[in-house]
Amino acid sequence: TELDRTVIDEIGDPLQHLLRNAADHGLESNEERLALGKEEVGNIYLDAYQDGNNVNIEVRDDGAGINIEKVKNKAIDS
């Protein structure tokens, strides 16, 4: 299935941001991962699939997850 070129152009920057965010903020350091019993190297997964007229794109990682307190504090400070 082909995507319209305009769709690809529109999602490029946000997708790059999501991937960079997962690498910069989602994954722990190698040392932290080992201490937590995880594999030394983290993984980032990118899945894309069509569902009817929609294209779903999922970005996920096997990192620590979102620190809710940190997000709350950042929102309050802003």
- pLDDT value at position 53? 86
**pLDDT averaged over 10-residue windows placed end to end, the chain, 78 residues:** 77 94 93 97 94 91 92 91
Q: List domains and CATH numbers for the chain.
A: 5-77 (3.30.565.10)
DSSP result, 22-73? IIIIISPPHHHHHHTTS-SS--EEEEEEEETTEEEEEEEESS----HHHHHH
pTM (predicted TM-score): 0.76
